[in-house]
Amino acid sequence: MAISHQKTDSAPQRYGPGRNFIIQAVKLAWPVIKAGKKLSNFPVLRWLIYPFFMRPYNEVSSIPLNIDVQGPDHVVMPRRIVKRLLADVDDIFIFDECICRRHNNVTSPPPMIGCMALGPAIRRIHPSHGRIVTTQESFHHVDRAAEAGLIANCAHVWIDPASFQTRFHDLMFICYCDDTNCLYRTDMKNRGASLQGAYQRLPGLAVCVDAGKCEGCGKCVERCFLAEMALVNGKALIGPSCAGCGRCVENCPNGAVALNIKNEDGLYADLVQWIKGVSHLPIKNT
């Protein structure tokens, strides 16, 4: 995989809001979105929260950075997929902190492993949030996130360009999320029908249960943030809206849940196709 350095040539234009403004905005939005997820179960009221998750203005797909699908050089394959993407884009911005973990005052996973923003619109992000980085620096950031047990969520959602005042189609995010502190991931177990499609599984990625190994302990059920894992007749069964986040794979004590990836090139092609379908992010070599 070629490693290139990022372009840092053009001077930034007008910046969007700075860090303090965004912190206050998240503080206000947090209880509204949390309450809205609960209200999504009620007729009429569910449409109040629907715009926050409505496709195609909200597209989120998970990449399990730490699942043990090894490539030839012992780099875990989903992690290498993210690095391939980073090598193929010119503009990468790393946030100094995760705004969600900061909001919740948690120290573990560390709040200083922030999101990445990709695309030409990053030049509008105010420098108080973080900095534009080289490809190599972005690789290091992915490794830190994986080692902290975080999952990568590729997100193209309207609230990001609206918050940072950038163009919608020129901005993608890779968020490094844990299960309990992410504004998007939390409280999804009891979501209403209008939020069923909030997370998309990459087509080249499948999760399956080996019923012969499953002892029905329920750990996977407990850890699934979407409630897409259930016990049926004492065996784990995966639901149709599984996002492929891999938490059940990581937490099964018997190794009964596995992540299947058709092959690295195929999964990368799926990811690129998905990104091109939802944004105008320029991706080289594809």
**Contacts with ligand SF4, residue ranges (CB under 6 A):** 207, 209, 214-220, 223-224, 226, 228-229, 236, 238, 242-248, 252, 254, 256-257
Distance in Å, CB of 191 to ligand SF4, minimum: 12
Please, which residue, 132 or 226, has the CB nearer to ligand SF4?
Answer: 226
Instruction: Tell me the three state secondary structure of residue 232.
Output: strand
Phi–psi pair at 285, nearest 5 degrees: 60, 25
CB of 264 closer than 8 Å to CB of 277 = no
Please, which residue, 69 or 243, has the CB nearer to ligand SF4?
Answer: 243
Distance in Å, CB of 54 to ligand SF4, minimum: 20
What does the alpha-carbon distance between residue 226 and residue 242 come to, in Å, rounded to a whole number? 7
Distance in Å, CB of 124 to ligand SF4, minimum: 33
| Residues with Cβ within 8 Å of residue 203, at least 6 apart in sequence | 270, 274
Please, which residue, 137 or 179, has the CB nearer to ligand SF4?
Answer: 179
Distance in Å, CB of 152 to ligand SF4, minimum: 13
Please, which residue, 65 or 226, has the CB nearer to ligand SF4?
Answer: 226
Please, which residue, 120 or 246, has the CB nearer to ligand SF4?
Answer: 246
Count of alpha carbons within 13 angstroms of residue 154, beta-carbon side: 31
Query: Long-range pairs for 214-218 at CB < 8 Å and ≥24 separation?
Result: 214/252, 214/254, 214/256, 215/254, 215/256, 217/253, 217/254
What does the alpha-carbon distance between residue 37 and residue 21 come to, in Å, rounded to a whole number? 24
Distance in Å, CB of 209 to ligand SF4, minimum: 5
